[in-house]
Structure 1
Amino acid sequence: MTHLKCLREVRVLPRNQAGGADVVVAAFDRMSTDVVTALRRVGSEIGKPIVLIVDELKDDELLLAVECRVVAVLPRTAISDGTLPRIVRTAAEGGAALSPDRLGELFAHMERLWQLVPRRSGLRATELAGREIEVLRLIAEGWETAEIANKLCYSERTVKNILYGITRRLNLRNRSHAVACALRAGII
């Protein structure tokens, strides 16, 4: 793996300076369990976006790559003089680079995953206010009502009213049901 520092230019950094990189460029022939392990390790240790250069990437491996902090996928044959530096700059600025067909695959994967999420409660992020999401997040972390009120500078009655409002409006049984639905929907 090569680590790149992106300022106004793209520079290759030695491995021992990888922590100073803005983007990691990783090149492999194909995805394998060893590659996924390496990408996960680098993603967690360095915490920077990864540009993946790979000769062969199967459809079902794309989502796995994205889970490993990969923000760009390029076949070696697509790399020309200016392509890699441009993609690295895009990744350093928070962007992503996938070919239109790969982007379509990613959206198809996401659509399939979205359909697996139970929708009985109809819970969507747009249906919850920020303070409702924060209260659910704290409940999921095991905080009691009094602790939540203290942390958010609310009264206990306000926290209880927020929970009552969520469960009543969305036809949920209790606070545990609300947290479970929020977790399944990816809201918290």
Structure 2
Amino acid sequence: MLVSVVALDPVLEAGIRSTLSACPEIALTTAAGEPRVVVMTVDQVSPSELDALRSVREAPSQPEVVLVASRLAPGDALHALAAGARGLLRRCEADAARLTRAALAAARGDCTLPPDLLDRLLRHAEAGGAGADGASPAWAGASLDDRERSVLRMVADGHETNEIARRLCYSPRTVTAVVHDITRRFRLRNRAHAVAYALRTGLL
């Protein structure tokens, strides 16, 4: 799988490239090489970084993006997911295993977040928090049942269908059907979009 690394700081870029080079499933390339995944490293998630993320997503090859940030607050995570990020990592936690897992998950269209950050987002949503733009959740009458919520939480943590099925004691077909029902009901594009939408609107 082709992966490129983007960072304003060449030292950080070299560090991330070195970390990813140890994974035999990943072949590093430049952005011009039409990568499947782009790993972006930033200090903070500000409007300029979000614009850069959107620009990467709009490239002809439409690569998925894993965003590695020095600071990553819940609001930052929601904005990054809404802008198209498929994986979020704090720089201090971006070791070889986590980077590789996030990149491979992004290539599958899955979404990964640090577990503690996901928990904070879920607590905020369960407390009735508003979306990332301060608005009330869309489709106010919509909700997820316990099974849908459990599956979507594990999708958000980057688990594959078979692993979700094993942990929740469902069949892989049931897990696939649950995700399909969520995306169809809310007119979402894929699993990652479902996670971003659910977190942003307070459904999770």
**TM-score, normalized by length of structure 2?**
0.50
1:83-162 matched pairs, under 5 angstroms: 83-108=98-123, 112-113=129-130, 116-117=137-138, 119=140, 122=141
Q: 1:2: which partner in 2?
A: 5
CA RMSD between the two structures: 3.6
Give, as a single letter, the amino acid of the residue that structure 2 aligns with 1:2. V
% of aligned pairs identical? 25
Quote the Cα distance in structure 2 between the aligned partners of 1:118 and 1:89: 32
Q: Which moved more, 1:99-108 or 1:37-46?
A: 99-108
Q: 2:43: which partner in 1?
A: 29
Q: 1:63: which partner in 2?
A: 78
Q: 1:42: which partner in 2?
A: 56
Give, as a single letter, the amino acid of the residue that structure 1 aligns with 2:95. S
* Structure 2 residue ranges without an equivalent (≥5): 7-16, 18-23, 145-180, 188-200
Query: Are 1:23 and 1:49, in contact at CA under 8 Å, matched by a contact in 2?
Result: yes
Q: Which moved more, 1:29-38 or 1:84-93?
A: 84-93
Residue 110 and residue 42 in structure 1: after superposition, are their counterparts in 2 closer, same or farther (change >3 A)? Answer: farther
Residue 99 and residue 43 in structure 1: after superposition, are their counterparts in 2 closer, same or farther (change >3 A)? Answer: same
Give, as a single letter, the amino acid of the residue that structure 2 aligns with 1:87. A
Residue 113 and residue 9 in structure 1: after superposition, are their counterparts in 2 closer, same or farther (change >3 A)? Answer: same
1:113 offset after TM fit, Å? 4.2
The higher relative CO (CA closer than 8 Å, separation ≥ 6) is in 2
Give, as a single letter, the amino acid of the residue that structure 2 aligns with 1:90. A
Residue 110 and residue 22 in structure 1: after superposition, are their counterparts in 2 closer, same or farther (change >3 A)? Answer: farther
1:123 offset after TM fit, Å? 6.7
Q: String of CA shifts for 1:92-113, please: whole Å, max 9, x gaps.
A: 1222221122112333565634
1:172-183 matched pairs, under 5 angstroms: none
Residue 110 and residue 65 in structure 1: after superposition, are their counterparts in 2 closer, same or farther (change >3 A)? Answer: farther
SS in structure 2 of the partner of residue 74 of structure 1:
strand
1:71 offset after TM fit, Å? 1.8
Quote the Cα distance in structure 1 between the aligned partners of 2:78 and 2:38: 18
Query: Are 1:49 and 1:71, in contact at CA under 8 Å, matched by a contact in 2?
Result: yes
Residue 87 and residue 117 in structure 1: after superposition, are their counterparts in 2 closer, same or farther (change >3 A)? Answer: closer
Give, as a single letter, the amino acid of the residue that structure 2 aligns with 1:69. G
Give, as a single letter, the amino acid of the residue that structure 2 aligns with 1:36. L
SS in structure 2 of the partner of residue 82 of structure 1:
helix
Query: Are 1:63 and 1:109, in contact at CA under 8 Å, matched by a contact in 2?
Result: no
**TM-score, normalized by length of structure 1?**
0.53
Give, as a single letter, the amino acid of the residue that structure 2 aligns with 1:16. A
Query: Are 1:21 and 1:48, in contact at CA under 8 Å, matched by a contact in 2?
Result: yes
Structure with max Cα Rg: 1
Quote the Cα distance in structure 2 between the aligned partners of 1:86 and 1:14: 20
Q: 1:173: which partner in 2?
A: none
Residue 67 and residue 14 in structure 1: after superposition, are their counterparts in 2 closer, same or farther (change >3 A)? Answer: same
Give, as a single letter, the amino acid of the residue that structure 2 aligns with 1:32. S
1:10 offset after TM fit, Å? 0.7
